[in-house]
Amino acid sequence: MSEEEGVAGAPLANGEDSLPQVGIISQYVKDLSFENPNAPAVYQWQGQPQIDVQFNIGSNKVGDDVYEVVLKIDVRATSADKVAFQVELAYGGLFGLRNVPEDQLQPFMLAEAPRIIFPFARRVLADAVRDGGFPPLMLEPIDFAALYVGQLQQQEQALQNADVAGQA
């Protein structure tokens, strides 16, 4: 191997390896809200509440080779059309990315980064619900890659339907 080649034969640029590099810089609670609007009466209610969980993922570039990914989780528990509790969590992660091909940025930001930070967001959410006087809410693991692929397929289908409608 010559001095101008790096690991696996990848050429070096200014003495640095040109292979893609990803690292988590920091994780943090960006926003957390817990509401228990019917306390103390809620603790006398019978039966299990209906739990509705919604997810949203956002990302943006915050510096050279630094990206923020925010996993937003909204949970609403209702029983007999009354709110038992509501939690809104925005959990962020800062990621350093180097030499990542442009076409791989979005899949990383919307599938892999949320997978990395989800266990930590899940714990924050469970603790908030428990601290509100309810059994901890343990969310099932989520396949963010499958969600990302499904969203891409929906977008492609919508474009195809728009093209067909435009040709008619």
Token pair of 110 as six digits: 């919307």
Task: Name which residue leads in pLDDT, 15 or 25.
Answer: 25
Task: Name which residue leads in pLDDT, 157 or 130.
Answer: 130
Cβ pair 111, 144 in contact under 8 A: yes
- Looking at domain 19-136, which of 2.40.440.10, 3.40.190.170, 3.10.420.10, 2.120.10.10 is its CATH number? 3.10.420.10
pLDDT for 25-35, tens place per residue? Answer: 999 999 999 99
Rounded to two decimals, what is the model's pTM? 0.80
Cβ pair 55, 142 in contact under 8 A: yes
- Provide the total of helices (H) and of strands (E) in the chain, helices listed first: 3, 6
